[in-house]
Amino acid sequence: MSTPPLAASGMAPGPFAGPQAQQAAREVNTASLCRIGQETVQDIVYRTMEIFQLLRNMQLPNGVTYHTGTYQDRLTKLQDHLRQLSILFRKLRLVYDKCNENCGGMDPIPVEQLIPYVEEEGSKNDDRASLPRFASEERREIAEVNKKLKQKNQQLKQIMDQLRNLIWDINAMLAMRN
């Protein structure tokens, strides 16, 4: 059996052919956009570190014997890094705008509802008083589980001690028999 020939566009034929492939390429989900944004930020940090490295090693020509060729090379490298950095910032802005566009229909959830916290007794916000006290309930449940765990550990320790004594007695009897 022979493999089918590739399409004229250079892509293998598949479920995404023609305009569907272009539409699928344009529709990028928010998670992959965030990943692209994270990689862009990492690139920006890396380029910035390179720029500072170049600036630290670069000496300004102030009449001291310094090779102008080396200075020009470092200057062009610096300008190139700055140009790439501005491109990365534009890319990051595009990713940010696209993420905001994709998340535009979502209702923002207040941070207080996402993070469990313990309220103080003299809290001045009446809105927060109606929210459940997740942290205190969780702490109480953890304390109960820890108490039960300690009891089970104590029981296991007693069983292990009884087994150790039993084995000691059996070994003592076997030793007396011989």
How do residues 123-170 score in pLDDT, each as one tens digit? Answer: 555 555 545 566 778 888 899 999 999 999 999 999 999 999 999 999
Q: Residue 127 belongs to what H/E stretch? A: helix 126-129
The token duo for 27 is: 């529709």
Of these ranges, 12-26, 30-44, 97-111, the one predicted with the greatest mean pLDDT is 30-44
How far is it, in rounded angstroms, from Cα 175 to Cα 178?
Answer: 5
How far is it, in rounded angstroms, from Cα 148 to Cα 143?
Answer: 9
Residue 55 CB contacts under 8 Å (≥ 6 apart), including other chains: 78
Asked if pLDDT for residue 44 goes beyond 70, the answer is yes
**What local confidence, expressed as pLDDT, does residue 21 receive?**
47
How far is it, in rounded angstroms, from Cα 166 to Cα 156?
Answer: 15
**What local confidence, expressed as pLDDT, does residue 117 receive?**
64
pTM above 0.75, yes or no: no
